[in-house]
Amino acid sequence: MEIWKPREIAPDTTLHWLIGPLDLWVRQTPEEWLVAVSRGEQERGAAVDVEEPPEETEWMRWAVRASNPRIRLGPIMPDRPVIVRPASPLQIPPGQEARFFVGVPIRVRVAVLSGEKEAAQLGEINTLQLSNSWFGTPTEGELCYALRTRAKRTLDELTPVPHRAVCSLLLRNASDETLDFQRLCLQARHLNIYEGTRHMWTNEGKVTFKGEGTFSEITYGKGAPPFDNAKARLAEARDKPERGFVSKTFGNLKAFTSF
């Protein structure tokens, strides 16, 4: 995608990136790099142009020197787990499985390059401001992000947008009880990002449910998923998991509190 290609910025010139609901401006001065951000509610397209932000916009300033400098934006998955919900609760009987597609809002990592090497990172920016949610009990759990969008059963239900990466999740019920799928904790830090024809993608996730109150077995594909001609890797996972690790993954509505 054009928005992820490194760019040269002439001194005292501002480049503007449009990435879905995110407007991002980067300006180079002889001594500093300046970054400004604005977010809207509309899920727009993607573009890069030369444009100044509104006068009241606040700039973040970075003291970075680099020879032959360029700026590079890159997608990265959220820094916390995300809570995934189906469009409506779904029952998965013992021995059965179901596939879901989840569009996860990415973050944008801004870096200054010196030639081909990275000289400094100017931080990470959420394309969409996500609300906080707690996964687990009041005394044991972890802080997560809550997704506004719901997991879909078919890929055709997802609209291609430049600020979301699609994760294909295969849920298997290996227990002797029915799995009441209401919410799922997806460890986004284990996901790479790949470029497809219509969407960005993560590696595929497979979750095996082994019973209420027990840990689920989770595996992630090593490469791009077999959808949408996904091939080129745009970003590596923050943390590569051990193959076949276990985690508390499923929860019902009583197991969550939000704030």
Residue 242 is predicted with a pLDDT of: 60
Q: How confident is the model at residue 256 (pLDDT cuts 50, 70, 90)?
A: very low
DSSP secondary structure string for all residues of the chain:
-GGGS-B---TTEEEEEEETTEEEEEEE-SS-EEEEEEE-SS---EEEEE-PPPTTPPPEEE----SSEEEEEEEE--SS-EEE-BSS-EEE-TT-EEEEEEEEEPEEEEEEEETTEEEEEEEEEESS-PEEEEEE-SSSEEEEEEPSSPBBSSGGGSPP-TTEEEEEEEEEE-SSS-EEESEEEE-GGG--EEE-SSSEE---EEEEE--TTSPEEEEE-SS--SSTT--SEEE--SSPPPTTEEE--EE-GGGEEE-
More confident residue, 33 or 136: 33
Average per-residue pLDDT for the chain: 88
Is the pLDDT assigned to residue 9 strictly greater than 60?
Answer: yes
Could you tell me the pLDDT band of residue 250, with boundaries at 50, 70 and 90? low
Q: Give the model confidence (pLDDT) of 56-69 as tens digits.
A: 899 999 998 888 89
pLDDT at residue 223 greater than cutoff 60 = yes
Q: How confident is the model at residue 136 (pLDDT cuts 50, 70, 90)?
A: confident
